[in-house]
Amino acid sequence: MKSKKHIAIAVAAVAIIVVAAVMIANPSGWSKKSFEAVVQETVTQADGEIRLIVERTTEIYSNPMNSLGISDDTKLLNASGEKIAITDFNPGDAISVTLKDSFTEETPFYYPVVYEIKLIDQ
């Protein structure tokens, strides 16, 4: 009877270790969300922040409009995967957006962290 108990405990411990290893190996991918959109305009705010206004073509939230903040960490890519500038995005361009799929309680509004914006080959 004791050996069955030990085996059950060992199996549970191994399962916990495997789950922990998977979570450590791939934590960032779980918080990413992607969608396709069409560029509406590029806006430079008074404080110098650049925002890309897009209309989603894939349904995620009820309002299809998004204002995406462009930071130094945002990858801007053409259809071939080469880096481009924000000025290379024009109204009507189809794009794929990858962003963080969560927000913090300290942020009163949902301004997602944008990881990547890529032109879709038309």
- Is residue 99 within 8 Å of 28, Cβ to Cβ? no
The domain spanning residue 89 has which CATH number?
2.40.50.140
Write the pLDDT tens digit of every residue in 85-104.
988 999 999 999 888 766 54
Write the pLDDT tens digit of every residue in 102-116.
654 444 455 678 889
Residue 60 amino acid letter:
I
Q: Global pTM?
A: 0.66
Residue 53 amino acid letter:
I
d(CA 53, CA 43): 7
Q: Is 2 part of any domain?
A: no
Main-chain dihedrals φ then ψ at residue 55, nearest 5 degrees: -115, 120
Q: Is 5 part of any domain?
A: no
Quote the number of domains for the chain: 1
Q: What is the span of the domain harbouring residue 36? A: 32-119
